[in-house]
Chain A
Amino acid sequence: MNVFRILRVSLRALARNKMRTFLTCLGIIIGVAAVIAMVSIGAGARAAVESQFASMGTNLMFVTGNWRMMGGARTQTGQFNRLTAEDAKAIGQLPSVEAVSPSVSTRAQLIYGNNNWNTMVQGTGESYPLVRKWDIEDGAFFDESMVRGAAKVCVIGADIKKNLFEEDEDAVGKTIRISRVPFLILGVFKSKGESGGFGSRDDFVCVPYTTALNRLSRSEYLQSIDVSAVSQAKTKEAQDEITELLRIRHRIPDGGTDDFVVRNMSEVAEGAAEATGILTILLGSIASISLLVGGIGIMNIMLVSVTERIREIGIRMSIGARPRDILLQFLAEAIVLSLAGGLLGIILGIGVSKVLKYIPVFASITTMVSWSSVLLAFAFSGSVGIFFGFYPARKASKLDPIEALRYE
């Protein structure tokens, strides 16, 4: 028998019991759809994270304290996080560095009139818009003299404007209270929007880092320093220069461990991508379990089907079907079931991925159907058919024609 003949025989047998065929497929349909939808959520999160990092600029670097230096005997030689404004200034002098912005952040309560808002307060230098590639929509950013003088001025994110002010109200020139201290609003940032499941990026307020240190966090050390290299090609060079400079400034002996870390954007992006990758694997494997359950469903139905059709098998054998023909017929039925289920599952899975964002609860989730996941799910459902179809098919082919013909 050739492939088409086997297929024809199998399709006829499946068509004889349409409802059961559909229900058996359903297990695979749901399994495949779940795999595709889940993986698309994971891939969507990954893409969102990547685009977010890309929008921050590829020549951006961060200098942070080395948290692994915390604790242990080493704390006596240096506090765990001793990046200072002088460090930042010195980095700014380096040839491959374009601009620096010291950074301190804390959460604080914002009050304007009767409105309250809890948000992130970011203490930065005057070069923040340049370093972070973030434009001002309205008004202006604070300048160097304001930073030096620890002025009580701020620039607010688009969300803050939306939440504290009336729609047509001009925020620039107004005074808001940040942790009960009045600040003059100098400007409003351009909106950057959602960041794919990680909340809005526009929900923050910028103040001079000097003001943040004095009034809000009451510390003398910076949490990090944002640095932009003159170009993306120069980031590696800048990283080396910063490392060398800070080792000298922090008096770290040769062979001593750095008490700071310089990361460029692509390293940070990799870390985030790894996290979303784990998310994808997790979601995908949970969904795969349902595909497995679907496969067991196929085996179950095929076993029932073999028992129910013992007589048919006997008839086929008596008129000349070889054991192999019977095996192939039942195997083909299982494979047709699972591939049909796989195909419908792919359609359903893609549909779910596309429709998800119109459902309010899932509105913030971005999905991205990856063709590799579609291919994988389809191949997997095919193998499920072969794997779970083989045992019943073998059982059918081993039947004794006389017993089978006599079976009631």
Chain B
Amino acid sequence: MNADIIRLENITKTYIVGETEVRALRGVSNIIPTGDFVAIMGASGSGKSTLMNIIGCLDKPTSGRYFLDGEDISTLSRDALAGIRNRKIGFVFQSFNLLPRTTALENVELPLIYANVSHKERLARARASLAAVGLKGREAHKTNQLSGGEQQRVAIARALLNKPRLILADEPTGNLDSKTSDEIMNVFERLNHEDGISIVMVTHEPDIGARAKRRLHMKDGLVVRED
């Protein structure tokens, strides 16, 4: 186990939109130690989503180096990145991103399908994971029969399934009311606290950001402030 879950060295990302270059990240360097709970905050267009995509191995930086759990990610192939996402990262999205017309259990077991785990073990682990987020007995419910909070819990159960080192949450409470948001944040805090899972969360809501251990404030493609 590495001491730093994430090490970013002068990460830049430039998009070419038509004729113009858009410099979404202009050199972000940061270290997030294992077991940290960090909120990335900033207005839209500040580059926080781009940074999130790079940390989540969904995108590659234009320049700079990114080490996840001690491994240099910047040079890996698409297939290798898919493997990293599968084994080390759990995603939680604003819009839940569950498969429609599919049961909670089937949604949760999805990552294990790509990890070559047997059917029996997949079901057992998916059940356990659902129970861990308080959804025991809801396994056979289809996603459209669940409330927003329940759907986000299913998404968290899915993210937890492969025992990831890191959970990436992109505006996890953006579509939820404040009471449900609070419950979801409790789940995150418990995971961070009890299970030692590192969490990086993007949010623009100050009260949600306040529940993280640390906050990185971004503006114009740079981290401008930490507290």
Contacts and interface: CB of A to CB of B under 8 A. Distances in A.
Nearest to B110: A319
B91 A1 contact: no
B53 A316 contact: no
Which range contains the number of A residues in contact with the other chain?
20 to 34
Interface of A: 1-2, 5, 8-9, 12, 16, 311-312, 314-325, 401-402, 405
Contact of A320 (B53, B87, B93, B101): B87
Contacts, number: 68
Contact of A317 (B82, B93, B116): B82
B78 A323 contact: yes
Given A16-B102, A322-B82, A1 B53 contact: no
B124 interface: no
A321 B102 contact: no
A163 B94 CA distance: 86
B56 interface: yes
Interface of A is mostly: helix
B54 to A, nearest CB: 10
Which range contains the number of B residues in contact with the other chain?
20 to 34
Nearest to B168: A318
Given A1-B113, A325-B114, A319 B102 contact: no
B134 interface: no
A320 B58 contact: no
A1 B97 contact: no
Nearest to A9: B113
Nearest to B83: A320
26 contacts: A2-B116, A8-B119, A9-B113, A12-B106, A314-B97, A315-B97, A315-B99, A316-B110, A317-B58, A318-B56, A319-B86, A319-B91, A320-B86, A320-B87, A320-B114, A321-B82, A321-B114, A322-B78, A322-B79, A322-B114, A323-B79, A323-B82, A325-B114, A401-B58, A402-B58, A405-B58
B158 A319 contact: yes
B117 to A, nearest CB: 9
A11 to B, nearest CB: 12
Contacts of B110: 315-316, 319
Contact of A402 (B53, B86, B116): B53
Contacts of A9: 113
Given A16-B102, A320-B87, A405-B97, 18 more contacts: A1-B113, A2-B116, A5-B116, A9-B113, A312-B100, A318-B85, A318-B97, A319-B86, A319-B114, A320-B86, A320-B111, A321-B82, A321-B114, A322-B78, A322-B79, A323-B78, A323-B82, A325-B114
